[in-house]
Amino acid sequence: MGGAVLATTGSVLTACGNAGPTYYTLSSVPGMIYRGSASIIEVRTPSLAGFLDKDRIVSEISNNKLTLSSSDAWGDNVTNMIGRVMMLNLAQRLPDARIFLQNQATETTPQVYVEMDISKFNQDSSGNAIVTADLVIRYNGDKPAKFNRLLTLQKTPADSGTQALVVALSQLLGQVSDTAAENLRDLPASSTL
């Protein structure tokens, strides 16, 4: 990726005054481009551990204690953002494929499904951003998975602030997208799946 990160995070949507929370959004991160896959790919809405699926950002999980930020919140449902970012990341990495989100208006039936079950999406007690995701790629819906790997990734944020945490989580989703794109790049054209 050459160190270039185009993560636009920390979209502040606060009302006048300091009474409301600061809202953040995840962002897509560029990666290696793979040409040739003309498949139709659906990114399914990821499943997220219930204790992470909060409006407020989970700032830390340590010693069985869940800490939510008192002033920082997600700008949208976090599972929706993760799915959207995954779709945008894959669209950038696989420009010849048609990639869309589950339940998005489309006239085409997908031949490939990308699924994620996320059990960690937070900061750990050492201050590292951590993402643990079971990444699954299926052809033609209910057939056995062609790819299934549990990924545990971590990154040290640039500083201790929430914006740096959100940037690091976006970058880790970029790494999950890299793994998916590498395993989707050699798919045959959609008519032959």
Cα(46)–Cα(54) distance, integer angstroms:
15
Q: In the prediction, which pLDDT does 48 show? A: 95
> Is residue 108 within 8 Å of residue 98, measured between CB atoms?
yes
Of the two residues 133 and 141, the one the predictor is more confident about is: 133
Element of type H or E holding 148:
strand 147-155
Q: Which residues pair with 42 in a beta bridge?
A: 100, 113
Q: What are the residue boundaries of the structural domains of the chain, listed by start?
A: 22-187
The whole model's pTM is what?
0.84
Among candidate residues 135, 113, 120, 130, the one with its CA nearest the CA of residue 179: 135
CATH node for 22-187: 3.40.50.10610
Q: In the prediction, which pLDDT does 188 show? A: 61
pLDDT digits (tens, 9 = 90+) for 19-60: 688 999 999 999 999 987 778 999 999 999 999 999 999 888
DSSP string, 8-20: ------PPSSSSS
Of the two residues 54 and 191, the one the predictor is more confident about is: 54
| pLDDT classification of 8: cutoffs 50, 70, 90 | very low
Q: In the prediction, which pLDDT does 189 show? A: 60
pLDDT digits (tens, 9 = 90+) for 75-112: 999 999 999 999 999 999 999 999 999 987 766 788 89
Of the two residues 132 and 140, the one the predictor is more confident about is: 132
Please give the average per-residue pLDDT across 167-188, as a whole number.
92
Among candidate residues 29, 36, 33, the one with its CA nearest the CA of residue 131: 29
Q: In the prediction, which pLDDT does 59 show? A: 81
Q: In the prediction, which pLDDT does 190 show? A: 54
> Is residue 114 within 8 Å of residue 183, measured between CB atoms?
no
Cα(58)–Cα(66) distance, integer angstroms:
7
User: Mean pLDDT in the chain?
Assistant: 86
